Amino acid sequence: MTPPESSFDSQKYWMARHEQYAGSHQATGLLGSSEQANAVLYELRRRALLASLRGMDLTGARVLDAGCGLGDFSRLYHQLGAEVYGCDVSPRAVEQCREHVSGVFECGGIIDVPGLFPNVRFDLVHCFDVLYHLMDDAEWQSSLQALQAVSAPAATWRITEIVRPVPGANHIRPRQRSMYDPQLARLGRGITEERRLHWLLSIRPSLHSRLPALSMGLEPLCRIWPLASVARVALWSISADRRSEHAGVAEGGLQQR
């Protein structure tokens, strides 16, 4: 794979956004949208995540929030009984999480995770809206390898990815399943479920910003094909591929309630 020609520095970009919009969801959500609109955006993500977990018992589970931002999902995992660890490239974001969320938070990128938490193996890896901001394909591949290195044998991942092009976005590098599948297979993993997100946002982001309640009402359209294919963002559940010789025999792991 050839990285796109870009001088974009994602780390500097996110550090600057967190400094400029400290404590606001404009630092991590829709830039230029109101707190109300971003609150709806995060609520839609929260609902989709809970649906993908389907009553999974996280009591005592070790969860990595890779790219934790303001800690919205770290907080949710803690409420579900998990032992939470998080990382972000922004020192301001990490400071915010340490002040307001229960867990262990360190400053660094995904490729730094093995060094940030050297003695921890995670039962669940959460990585929302991060991987498609890695513009360099080599860094993206290394990030997937880093997540695998800190995953317990039966660990599951929950990640989001943009699966349709976003014209004019110089801070986004969408990668479809055709790119993910071979990389995940090399790690002994595969995508076991896909949920499309944010149907209205994909069609009229400005309308969501003005009338966010519409997004809440129309979100179920993301579950209806072929309408779902319009949505640009997908939530993937990723598990060890038991058919792979690299997957091994999963011991322990998360239990259903």
- Core vs surface per residue 43-79: b (16+ CB within 10 A) or e: ebbeebbeebbeebebeebbbbbbbbbbbbbbbbbbe
| Second CATH level (architecture) for the domain 10-243 | 3-Layer(aba) Sandwich (3.40)
Which pLDDT score, from 0 to 100, does residue 10 have?
Answer: 81
Give which of 47, 49, 99 is closest to 70, Cα–Cα. 99
Q: Which tens digits make up the pLDDT trace of 40-68?
A: 999 999 999 999 999 899 999 999 999 99
Which pLDDT score, from 0 to 100, does residue 145 have?
Answer: 98
- The whole-angstrom separation of Cα 20 and Cα 231 is 29
Which pLDDT score, from 0 to 100, does residue 179 have?
Answer: 96
Backbone angles phi, psi at 94, to 5 degrees: -65, -40
Report the pLDDT averaged over residues 228-253.
71
| The pLDDT of residue 211 is above 70 | yes
Q: Which tens digits make up the pLDDT trace of 173-187?
A: 999 999 999 999 999
Better-predicted residue by pLDDT, 135 or 144: 144
Which pLDDT score, from 0 to 100, does residue 55 have?
Answer: 81
Dump strand ranges (E) for the chain: 56-57, 62-66, 83-88, 104-107, 122-127, 151-162, 189-197, 233-240, 255-256
| The pLDDT of residue 245 is above 80 | no
pTM of the model: 0.90
Better-predicted residue by pLDDT, 165 or 34: 34
Q: Name the one residue in this structure whose structure tokens are 């997937």.
A: 144
Domain positions in the chain are 10-243
